[in-house]
Amino acid sequence: MPGTVQSIERAAAVLRLLAAAPDGLGVADLGNALGLAKTTVHGIVRTLHQVGFVEQDHSGAHYHLSDAFGRLGESYLDPNELRSRAINWADSLASRSGEVVRVGRLVEGKVEVVHHVFRPDDSDQDLDVGTTLPPHATALGKAVLAYDTSARPRSLEAYTTRTITDPVQLSEELATVRSRGWATEFEEHTVELASIAAPIRGLGGLVVGAVGLAGRIERICDSRLRHRGDLVSMVRATADAIARDLREDP
């Protein structure tokens, strides 16, 4: 049996104290109340601040519970924040791969496009930010669906003859995504198109969205119709870069 985690116990104690103090508390107050060294308490409140559970007042001297604490079921990352963190890396992926790049997140069982970068060939293209994609028929969707613990989409609509419509097959596919860390799609949404995507992990490993590219199969896949390894590496590196950006300074 693994033991309990002391720092989580202490964090819980800090949260209880803050919840009971409408004017907020300083690090010294918390340390005195819990019989802990100031540096220990400081580490705990800083972490809680980083994950968004506590806020600092204007002077920086006092901490109090943030309103996010009461809305834990909601997405912790604002979609517009995700876009602004992703934009440089998504641009870079589009220019390196030569393909359309999208960043998406799961909203009410669908993938909402948070950011869209045109294919860099200066052809006519329309921004589709704010539109939704079916999660079971796109790589972007599978990359977020694989880590979603809420209910799976009940009706799996077929977009092409290759769309996965069998829930068991979809579960297997998502297990593959989890085991290798990236997702693919081959003519499952639109004939002659394929896509690759990877999850973006925020603080604590929470998947906050996915980034991926899509294009014609002859460009996305090799001669044996397998998704090109160099593109997979680029997509994964992009997801990691965005994740690093998200974790560095919240």
The whole-angstrom separation of Cα 250 and Cα 90 is: 19
Provide the 8-state DSSP code for 221.
B
Q: Does 78 bind other proteins (CB under 8 A)?
A: yes
Which residue bears the tokens 């004939």?
Answer: 191
**Measured from the CB of residue 145, what is the shortest distance to other proteins in angstroms?**
24
CB closer to other proteins out of 39 and 88: 88
Q: Does 122 bind other proteins (CB under 8 A)?
A: yes
Q: Give the distance from CA 55 to its chain's centroid.
A: 23
Q: Does 108 bind other proteins (CB under 8 A)?
A: no
Among 32, 39, 95, 171, which residue interacts with other proteins (rule: CB under 8 A)?
95
Q: Does 87 bind other proteins (CB under 8 A)?
A: yes
Q: Does 240 bind other proteins (CB under 8 A)?
A: no
Q: Does 117 bind other proteins (CB under 8 A)?
A: yes
The strand pair at 54-56 and 63-65 is best described as antiparallel
The whole-angstrom separation of Cα 201 and Cα 74 is: 16
The whole-angstrom separation of Cα 118 and Cα 106 is: 21
Give, in order, the Cα–Cα distances in Å from 225 to each of 30, 170, 172, 188, 222.
60, 20, 20, 14, 5
Binding map of other proteins across residues 3-42, x = CB under 8 A, - = no contact: ----------------------------------------
Is the separation of the CB atoms in 109 and 153 below 8 Å?
yes
CB closer to other proteins out of 69 and 118: 118
Among 129, 158, 175, 191, which residue interacts with other proteins (rule: CB under 8 A)?
129
**Measured from the CB of residue 12, what is the shortest distance to other proteins in angstroms?**
23
Q: Does 64 bind other proteins (CB under 8 A)?
A: no
**Measured from the CB of residue 121, what is the shortest distance to other proteins in angstroms?**
7
- Reduced to 3 states (helix: H, G, I; strand: E, B; else coil), residue 228 is coil
Stretch that binds other proteins, among 118-126, 131-139, 189-197, 221-229 (CB under 8 A): 118-126
Of 188, 190, 170, 187, nearest in space to 178 by CA: 170
Q: Does 91 bind other proteins (CB under 8 A)?
A: yes
104 φ, ψ (degrees, to nearest 5): -135, 165
Q: Does 192 bind other proteins (CB under 8 A)?
A: no
Q: Give the distance from CA 224 to its chain's centroid.
A: 31
Stretch that binds other proteins, among 1-9, 122-130, 193-201, 221-229 (CB under 8 A): 122-130
Q: Does 232 bind other proteins (CB under 8 A)?
A: no
Is the separation of the CB atoms in 107 and 162 below 8 Å?
no
Binding stretches for other proteins (CB under 8 A):
78-81, 83-84, 87-88, 91-92, 94-96, 116-118, 120-122, 125-127, 129-130
